[in-house]
Amino acid sequence: MRRRASLVLLAFAVFFAALAPLLRWYGYPRLAKIPPSEYQTAVLEARPATLLDYGTMKPRTVSKVSIVQTLRGNVAAAEKVGKATGRDVVVWDALSYVAGPDGAMVSKIPERYVFDAHSQDPVHAGGEHVDGDAVRREGIEYKWPFLTEKRDYRYFDAQTRTSAPIHYKGTRTFRGLKVYYFEQTIPWTRVPLPKTMPVDGVTPETVRKAGTSRWYSTKRMFWVEPTTGAPVNGQEIHREELRGGTLLGDRGRVTVFSGHVKMREDYVRHTVDLVTSQRRLVLLLTTWLPGGFLALGTALFALALLLEARGRAARHQRSVPALASTPVPGIRPR
């Protein structure tokens, strides 16, 4: 009976001990992924900000500028690109909508971001674009990979349509979460004019024909929760100018937008709560379950050995009296 129990325990011990590394190194990389149907919004604000008044073509200070970012996973497009590339793909249709203090549109830039659901590596298919311009992303955008490392990454800048390093600047604590702080500075760069301008009758063509160009510079900061790779806070010191041409009269440059953009407090709280719950799921797959299974496997193996040893001892004890009563040839009992 003990023999059978120790064999059953041994089978379970091997089951759990094998499950630990299988789950961590085979299961986790395949199970942890961005769902293709994700829908997320974020609101960032610059208070106060400088905005160009297109009526007078002079910059003015306003109380607030809001940036509304929406990410919507396009499941049909993801399945189509997934079939074509043989990868698990996510397609995000995104919109960055900038509103003035009265809610009027300042700019709106649509994007399509196609990336690997597991590694967040960009996938060059499915019509990735920024404001209708085809782009070829390198590196990451919006989200870092699961189990983010303490190193620099390449981050795609939608305004310049190029990727540049985003530097790891240290580990911080943000609202009780351990986060990695990243920073990227884009120097003054000439960038395309948005396809949709905030004033009727003004188009990118009319601005270009006037010999005026748009320039942009930013310093972006992200606080990234490393287990999920999700930013829990983001800020930008963002500046845009129009330079040259007849539109500006005798001025060489005018500010279009300038402000320190920060995530709105209710969105920070919402994001921290969301990331905290997602972090538990990733930790379950990477640490808690594999660790627990390994400990359970070891304990069951020890129990199986113990039962087996006791069983052998009992069998040995039963066999000794039997041996003592067996007559040995040549020895006559007294």
Partner 1 sequence: MRALAAAAIGLAAALALVLAVTAIGAPSGETSPKPLLTTVPEHP
Q: Are 51 and 62 in contact (CB under 8 A)?
A: yes
- If the CB atoms of residues 90 and 242 are measured against partner 1, the closer one turns out to be 90
Residue placing its CB nearer to partner 1 in the complex, 86 or 321 = 86
Task: Provide the sign of the torsion angle of the four alpha carbons 287, 288, 290, 291, taken in this order.
Answer: positive
The least CB distance from residue 37 to partner 1, in Å, is: 3
Q: CB under 8 Å to 308, separation ≥6 — which residues?
A: 2, 3, 6
Which of left, alpha, beta for 236 (phi over 0: left; psi -120 to 50: alpha)? beta
Taking the complex as a whole, the smallest distance from the CB of residue 254 to partner 1 amounts, in Å, to: 26
What is the spatial distance between Cα 221 and Cα 206, in angstroms, rounded to a whole number? 34
- Within the chain, residue ranges assigned H as helices are 2-22, 28-31, 75-85, 204-209, 265-283, 289-324
Find, among 208, 186, 189, 188, the residue nearest to 197 by Cα.
208
C-alpha of 77 from chain center = 20
Q: Is the CB of 118 or the CB of 214 nearer to partner 1?
A: 118
Q: Which is nearer to partner 1, 33 or 195 (CB)?
A: 33
Minimum Å gap between C-beta 328 and partner 1 is 32
- Shortest distance (Å) from residue 51 CB to partner 1: 15
Minimum separation from the CB atom of position 47 to partner 1 (A): 13
Encoded tokens for 238: 């963002």
- Residue 87 or 169: the one with the smaller Cβ distance to partner 1 is 87
- Closest to partner 1 by CB, 33 or 243: 33
Binding site for partner 1 (CB under 8 A): 3, 7-8, 10-16, 18-19, 22-23, 26-27, 30-31, 33, 35-37, 39, 41, 43, 66, 68, 70, 72-76, 78-79, 93-95, 97, 99, 103, 105, 108, 110, 266-267, 270
- For the chain, the residue count is 334
Q: Count CB atoms within 10 A of the CB of residue 324.
A: 7
Closest CB 72 distance from partner 1, rounded Å = 6
